[in-house]
Amino acid sequence: MNNIQLRRWLNQPIITYFFLGIQILVFIISYLFPGLIESQGAMFGPFVVYYSQYWRFITPIFIHYGLMHFAVNSIVLYFMGQRLEAMYGHMRYFFIYLLSGAAGNLLSFAFNSPGVQSAGSSTALFGLFGAFVVLGVHYKNSYAIQVLVRQFTLFIGISLLFSLFDRSIDIWGHIGGLLGGALLGNLFGLPQRLRDYSIHVRIISGIALVFLLGFCLFYGFKKYQLLV
């Protein structure tokens, strides 16, 4: 592979394709072996606390319940992920997606009723929404960014509204992902335009993110310990 081919390959949304590939593989395995993936990887607080299965803060991002759940989240990831990956770059985007998804699962772990099982990439997708909102705050004069922000803000509002009336939707996971994505968007900044991000805002965002994750972990463990 020469330099031109390598550059073309690196300009593709390779991390979005990578996440989609994992999602598809997990869905196929779940279809062939019903219950196997969900039992081992879905967000389930008791197994985190009593069996130290900490991977459950990450693995639920790639697990879906049913074809519609999988299809909708995959389509959103494909279209929105490409745009955000192009703006933030591969590595920043990689960590925004995974860490905001983990933040959503941590909030779910802390505030959902004990024993609730949840999964889905919507925690990480709401993190992407949060990162887009941060772009809208920093680049008020960019028409293209403002159009995207308005579109995704409307989607966030509708999704959160439905979450209030549909008990099958993990609203805590959505809120945690949204907060995590916004804080990570501020913390990382755009690679070519870091000067647009105040160092104080970035530091505060980093501290707030650590506090959010730490508090959810502490509160979640405390909640389950009180049940014993």
Catalytic residues: 122, 174
Tokens of 145: 């960014």
**What is the sign of the dihedral through the CA atoms of 12, 13, 19 and 20?**
negative
Q: Which amino acid type is present at position 137?
A: V
Is there a contact between 121 and 73 (Cβ–Cβ < 8 Å)? yes
CA dihedral 87, 202, 204, 140 (to 10 degrees): -60
Q: What DSSP line would sit under 82-99, residue for residue?
A: HHHHHHH-HHHHHHHHHH
